[in-house]
Structure 1
Amino acid sequence: MDSNFDLKSKYEAGLRKWDKYGPEFIPAWIAEHDFGSPPAVYERISRVLSSGSFGYHDEDAKLGNSFAFWADSRHSLKINPELVIPTVTVLQGLAACVEAFSSIGDGILYNTPSYPPFLDLPSHAKRRSVEWPLIKSEAGWQYDMDSLEKILKNDPGIQILILCNPHNPTGLVLKKHELDQIINLCREYNLILLSDEIHSDFIYKESTHIPTLSIEGADSVTVTLTSGAKSFALAGMRCAVAITGNYLLKEKLLNVPKFLLGGANRMGCEATIAAWETGSRWMDDLIHILDDQRLRLKSRLDEEIPKAKMFMPDSTFLAWIDLSEFNPGENPAKWLREKTGIACGNGPDFGSGGENHIRLTFGTSVNLLDEMIGKIVKGLA
């Protein structure tokens, strides 16, 4: 895997990551790595292009078997391919689930800080937002398991819990005993659990991703949502899946208006299937590179600019960095961008717990990562 690339070509590729701020800035703001896709993806897309097969298609029907193979080979999760529902994106699948499993005015519970679209989803669907804040300590971020049942007892109108596991932006990975407790509470309080596991392929050696659907009792309350978008840099291909725990949940989800589930793009299906069926060794190589990158970033920040506080992420290629000691104001990302030329995600956009933080994507080349760190150190010295 080539971990270096031509910067000029990136800025000319029509990618949002590189277009938003232009060549005056180095982009580290969006959760997309720069390592492309497995070779089989390019071969598969080339065949479709050369044949001119751009009409209506049924390739999405093959996603179930392909994802079942990937889930088994990467996470030892046995799933029924018939319970895999194609969607366009994970967010679109989440929105369809909110429509299927809740009503206007119901509560939607999620962790904060949170992936920003989760913050907007309830209000767009005329539901109520209910926060379950993470706890930050000297040891890092963690789930406040003691508060979860209190929240559910105090608000019987909560119908859905959205989990992002692994967690964006902190890189936190839920442990089995935590998932056991969450599933038991969902069953006790009649919640549907929507488990966004889009980052689950990025697990480092000290951690283990436990698929929610592998937990005893999860099949009756869980819909897992995922995609190859993060793992294989395929976000523009518009293809994702929702995996229901049983046929009853599938039936309820498919009762939403048909077009709310959309239709996965032909190219996205082809690319995703090729990646899931052939990309395991490629993924291993990518994780090795990203592991080196997170260690490099953490080490250099600790040594060269210790006032920028970063906990080591257990997963993802995202660093959640606390700039509190610099007093960066209401928009830490803008403050950092103007001082360093590095465009990061803005912590307050992630809701409660995001104050004074930025999110930096370290899924890039060693040379570019070193350049970014150097600019941050120089700009904040």
Structure 2
Amino acid sequence: MNSLTQLRHTLHQHPEIAGEERQTAQRILDFFKPLKPDETIEELGGTGLAFIFKGKKPGKRLLFRCELDALPIQEKGNPSYQSTVSGKAHLCGHDGHMAIICGLGEKLSQNRPESGEVVLLFQPTEETGEGAKRVLEDPRFEEIRPDFAFALHNLPGFPLHQIITRKGTFAAGSTGMTIHFSGKTSHAAHPEDGRNPSEAISKLILTLPEIRKNISGFCLATVIHIQIGSLAFGTSAGQGSVSLTLRAFDQGNLELLIQKVEEKAQELAAADKLELEIEFLESFAVSKNDPHAANLAELAFEDLGLDVIENAEPFRWSEDFGLFSQSCPSYLFGLGAGENCPQLHEPTYDFPDELIETGVRVFERIIKKETLQGN
């Protein structure tokens, strides 16, 4: 077993969820110490790390990003390196993504880029959609702001090692939205003496399809949770909330969808004299691929003779890397994890070790392609 596979298994055994990734970051830091990067930035955006390898000549700065966090899900698979932490596991493959970037670090340690700089970013808190924002807002990010940023995600259901690409939008943007309505409780025999939010919540849910239809392009508004009052049969509810996940393939459409839902909630609250409070959780920007960055990656795929397919539509799930794509030229692609591999976030999922070498080779070739084009 090589060092990267061993590292991946160790990371798998010791998962840490979003915001808790200190031991994971320390393991990555320990791995990179003998590689002697030119600069190291610790605690970037929280527990994040950035390792900088400088080229021999001036040139472009390329950033390659992976994720530190695991999921709060109990693992039900049975690898020899099973999670040792109850209720937490690497069921999205971030352990494998980290191993790939560590492998790229090994290559850069042996051969610095011909020109420019390469930044290897280990981003915290991806699963909750908070990490990219924290990294980008950290003042030290200006030291590593890239000309191009790259990331991959393993994708079960596609042949092992196959590259899945898409021009323009690769994955949807999304946000969690909870709308709280506050009225006044009353006796259930006299609901007219109170202000029950159930009718406003019902009307809002029934209006969602119409709101979606009036926005051109794909968008979704999925009801995920409703809460009204309490289980007290003599009481008419005075409090209620509805939680939605809103998503779209275009950032402007996502923002318009949010606006329209907000406006409808305000209208319904005013009509029934209810107080309104709206909160947002787990917000992910649309992942949009830059044409120049795409060209570098596509040349690398071609050089390596990899099987490449272009997805007909963007993926409906969201990735925190989308925020990078909104702030600098970026490229996100998929790496097939096998047609029979359990889906991401399933309790039996496990990242295929065979993908580590493929991911390293792709990223290494992208660096070489940019250096050649830059010359």
* Shared fold (TM-score, shorter chain, > 0.5): no
* TM-score of the superposed pair, with normalisation by structure 2: 0.27
**Which protein has the larger Cα radius of gyration, Structure 1 or Structure 2?**
2
* TM-score of the superposed pair, with normalisation by structure 1: 0.26
The answer to which structure has the higher strand fraction is: 2
